[in-house]
Amino acid sequence: MQQSVQANADLVLSVLEASDHSEYIGEPISQLEHALQAAHFARRTAADAELILAALLHDVGHLIAADAPRMEGLGTINHEGLGAAWLAGLGFSRRVCDIVKGHVAAKRYLCYRKVAYFNRLSDASRGTLEWQGGPMSQLEAQSFEQQPCFKDILAVRQWDEMAKRTDITVARLSEYRAMIIDHLSREA
């Protein structure tokens, strides 16, 4: 079992490592830099390991399904669902998967609840928002607020928005290997 845990951790790391040469949807950084920055911001808040991993892996759905439908240059349609399902299949916890799955809905929620949030979105984020259904309705927002991981999902969304910088230094991907192995070992 430990061998499959290590193999799954190495698979996740290799997918992320390969994304160092993939642009992050209309932003001046790579997919890998975006993932590492989101995890960096989670670590700075003293988030727990599951929340840090969710931040690191929130966009993995863009990287695992080359043949999945695309949003006209803005990434993979339903990347949040694809990523959550892939991570669940590798043994990540329900909480990590639920947060990954919810991070797009969080953008839709925040655009409904906070006009200032919508106004701060990058052009690429506004473009994906259109593909993702636009701001939530009042009924959708009320339902979303009832999710068990609601606050965690909003936190990852905040780090996702922050993780587009070109002027910071963050931990290397290899520094997350032990955290991933520990997490997968606990879930096995």
Residue pLDDT, tens place only, 21-72: 877 777 788 999 999 999 999 999 999 999 999 999 999 998 898 777 676 7
pTM of the model: 0.93
The three state secondary structure string of the chain is CHHHHHHHHHHHHHHHHHHHHCECCCCCCEHHHHHHHHHHHHHHCCCCHHHHHHHHHCCCHHHHCCCCCECCCCCECCHHHHHHHHHHHHCCCHHHHHHHHHHHHHHHHHHHHCHHHHHHCCHHHHHHHHHCCCCCCHHHHHHHCCCCCHHHHHHHHHHHHHCCCCCCCCCCHHHHHHHHHHHHHHHC
Q: Tokens 């892939």 map to which residue?
A: 86
Q: What percent of the chain has pLDDT over 70?
A: 96
For 63-115, what is each residue's pLDDT tens digit?
898 777 676 776 776 789 899 999 999 999 999 999 999 999 999 999 999 98
Topology annotation, domain 2-103+159-187: Hypothetical protein af1432 (1.10.3210)
Q: What percent of the chain has pLDDT over 90?
A: 73
Domain parsing of the chain, residue ranges: 2-103+159-187
Rounded to the nearest integer, the mean pLDDT of the chain is 91
What integer pLDDT is reported at residue 18 of this predicted model? 92
